Amino acid sequence: MGRKVSLYPDHQAGLWVVERPAERPLPIVFDCPHSGHDYPADFGSCQPLEALRPAEDALVESLVARAPDYGITVIRALFPRSYVDVNRAEDDLDPELIEGEWPAPLRPGPKSELGIGLIRRWVVPGVPIYDRKLEVAEVQARIEGYWRPYRARLRTLVDELVERHGRCVYLQWHSMKSVGNAATPDGPGARRPDVVLGDRRSTTARPRLTGRLRNLFGDQGFRVRVNVPYAGADLLRVIGDPAHHVDAVQIELNRALFIDEDSVVRNRRYDETKARIEGVIEALAARPLP
């Protein structure tokens, strides 16, 4: 299949790339919010770059890169989630990471308690990102310069498709470690299936859409689980609204399917997995709304 993406993708340097179909877009948005690896100069981490990379959902964006050829709009973050996480609420911030008093009420949740909130404490458990506290202005600049613009762009993409088609399917693509650890809901040593679909326990998508996605992945030979151990985080909560014609599902792919988890490079299964993912995408595009 020849490339059918727009000749002029929406590229905001350091923030995002949006690729749209050249022809009439389907009512589907793919989002890769954690695949970015453009590390800002003001990050100020105590770790070298290679030590930070395990926090990325590396290569996920490459697995879905052909989606615009099938009529699907794709947005992907360019900045790393370890800098600021667009999939966390603005107030899900650990005050112990901040030097000084935050000017608004904070509500650090379970993610912040694990050190993986809006601003991460850990790359992985035991590997700190900082050897210092962050200034209030430093964190505010990340929110205003990255978190807020990315969310606004994503919202616009979804709203445009709802206006055009009457509804939209929002699918958020991630990767998960093949085995759980101290910062994951399933705990250390828990082995994962190939794919976990999350719809915040049937609140952000109609069950028939989640069921159809489960079948599509199953048809490609993937072992699939729903909502365990990952049910979806803040972007699903904000975007997903089935009553108003937006279904939102998170897709977690087991890293063992495509990446060496230590070196963060493609493994021998990458090509096969990419072909199977493309099979899912092609089938979804053939009938986007269940």
What is the separation of C-alpha 239 from the centre of its chain, rounded to a whole number of angstroms?
13
Beta strands at 28-32 and 168-176: parallel, antiparallel or unpaired: parallel
Instruction: Quickly count: other Cβ atoms within 10 Å of residue 265's Cβ.
Output: 11
Could you state, in order of their start, the residue ranges of all structural domains in the chain?
10-87+133-286
pLDDT at 289: 76
Phi, psi of 81 (to 5 degrees): -65, -20
Question: 47: left (phi > 0), else alpha (psi -120 to 50), else beta?
Answer: beta
Cα(170)–Cα(190) distance, integer angstroms = 28
pLDDT at 257: 99
pLDDT at 242: 98
Order across the sheet with 224-226: list the strands.
Answer: 10-12, 16-19, 73-77, 28-32, 168-176, 246-254, 195-198, 224-226
The CATH superfamily of 10-87+133-286 is Zn-dependent exopeptidases (3.40.630.40)
Helices 207-219 and 270-286: angle between axes, nearest 10 degrees: 140
- Closest to 175 measured CA to CA, from 17, 62, 288, 272: 62
pLDDT at 3: 52
pLDDT < 50 stretches in the chain: 7
pLDDT at 24: 87
The two structure tokens encoding residue 219: 């048809």
* pTM flag (> 0.85): yes
